[in-house]
Amino acid sequence: MSLLEIKNAHLKLDDKNILNGVSLSVNKGEVHAIMGPNGSGKSTLSYMLAGRDGYELEEGEILLDGISLSEMEADERARSGLFLAFQYPVELPGVGGMSFLREAVNSRRKFLGEEELDHLAFVKEARKEASKMYVKDEMLKRAVNVGFSGGEKKRFEILQMAMLKPKVSILDETDSGLDVDALKIVSDGVNAQRNNDNAIVVITHYQRLLDHIVPDFVHILSDGVIIKSGGPELALEVEKNGYSGLINAA
């Protein structure tokens, strides 16, 4: 059984068709990349999966580990093990990074029937994971994403992913705003979390991220449908010929 199953997803925004029948099956242990030109529906797809208000499916279905997500609110989906790394992480003035992480982790643990971590155990765990992402203690004391550089924001996203241990992670344009060094840190962080029980969907415009996070499958999204699927070589083809060749051929 697939860990994430998207069946014939249709979605409209302001009466405009954005997703026109997306189907995708992601198994445990796999990394999928979804590539596409601007306006192809990539970000809409990630919001739809995460359950953002206003991004409800017109038609179709999504299943996480066999369970339908359609009737679930965003927070329920998150607690069930769906994680979205934001393209533009949101600032939360005055909300300390450490307390935010703890609330999030304990919400997930509670859902899983695990005991909530006490303060000390949590701080220890958070520091361990944070050091892997080159996130300093000082950064965890600051307000979430406030005054963070582009690289810091993305590192903090991946740190949250590491702490929450989701079943399926969707990385929305995680490479945007990153220089080469930051890209490496973030990619290493993601790769460290690849295992046989989870799955990762990387949404990206450029091929360069896929040099670091090497996908098992690549899908090309255009006008709200997947027009072509293949292996990592498909991304190289995009890099070489652009999207237009593929789109015209489809």
Write out the residues near other proteins by the rule CB under 8 A: 50-53, 73-75, 78-79, 83-84, 86, 89-95, 99-100, 103-104, 107-108, 111, 143, 160, 164
Shortest Å, Cβ 98 to other proteins: 13
Asked if 18 contacts 12 with a C-beta cutoff of 8 angstroms, the reply is yes
Closest CA to 235 of 225, 227, 243: 243
Cα 106 to Cα 62: distance, rounded to the nearest angstrom: 26
Q: From the CB of residue 155, how many other CB atoms can be counted at a distance below 10 Å?
A: 23
Cα 157 to Cα 172: distance, rounded to the nearest angstrom: 11
Extract the tokens encoding 60. Answer: 């179709």
Closer CB to other proteins, residue 52 or residue 124? 52
Shortest Å, Cβ 163 to other proteins: 10
- Proportion of the chain in helix, strand, coil states, percent, rounded to 5: 40, 25, 35
Closer CB to other proteins, residue 91 or residue 137? 91
Closer CB to other proteins, residue 111 or residue 206? 111
Asked if 43 contacts 226 with a C-beta cutoff of 8 angstroms, the reply is no
Closer CB to other proteins, residue 44 or residue 222? 44
Closest CA to 52 of 43, 39, 65: 43
Closer CB to other proteins, residue 87 or residue 204? 87
Shortest Å, Cβ 142 to other proteins: 12
Shortest Å, Cβ 96 to other proteins: 8
Shortest Å, Cβ 90 to other proteins: 4
